[in-house]
Amino acid sequence: MTGPIPFRSGDFVWTRFPFENEPDEPGLVRHAACVIAAFTQQQAGAATSADVPARGLVVGVYTSSKVGKFGDALPIGVIQVGREQASRLGGQVAFFIDVRKRAFLPYTRKFFPDIDEPGCGLIAPASRALFDEVKRQYLLVNQRHQDLIVNVGPLRPPGT
């Protein structure tokens, strides 16, 4: 486990995305997340006051295949990914991306269970159009709906 974080903004990766009730602990199962950004240890110092491990920090947003959860009207910050697009990303079923749920994770085996495997847990990169929509929704939530943001992970910004 050496070298820089192999993920880029827009990559879908396997994580142990934390639950809200235990925000500093890895989730119990592997869970796909969409990477917003990956930072070296030095770069991460500007984003958090937490002790960042040598490998750095990955900021990801939540995904789920429970597409019926929201009904027909998706709330702000939630992006539907249909079955056809999901299959291009290596998935079998439609899913949604919820940019309101954000994880600030150290790049360690504890939070990235496939870190030592070929590809390090990379599922697939998002299309440019899909990641542009993720960024648009992420910024929209930041600007207008900060009350909807849920930050988890041991490296989340202070006070969140």
Asked if 126 and 89 touch (Cβ cutoff 8 Å), the reply is: yes
Domain spans, the chain: 11-152
**Interval 83-116: pLDDT, tens:** 788 777 777 788 899 999 999 999 999 999 999 9
Q: What is the pTM of this model?
A: 0.90
Matching CATH number, 11-152, of 2.30.30.110, 3.40.1710.10, 3.30.70.860, 2.40.30.10: 2.30.30.110
- Predicted confidence at residue 106, as pLDDT, reads 93
All residues at 6 or more sequence positions from 48 whose CB lies less than 8 Å from its CB, including other chains: 57, 104, 155, 156, 157, 158
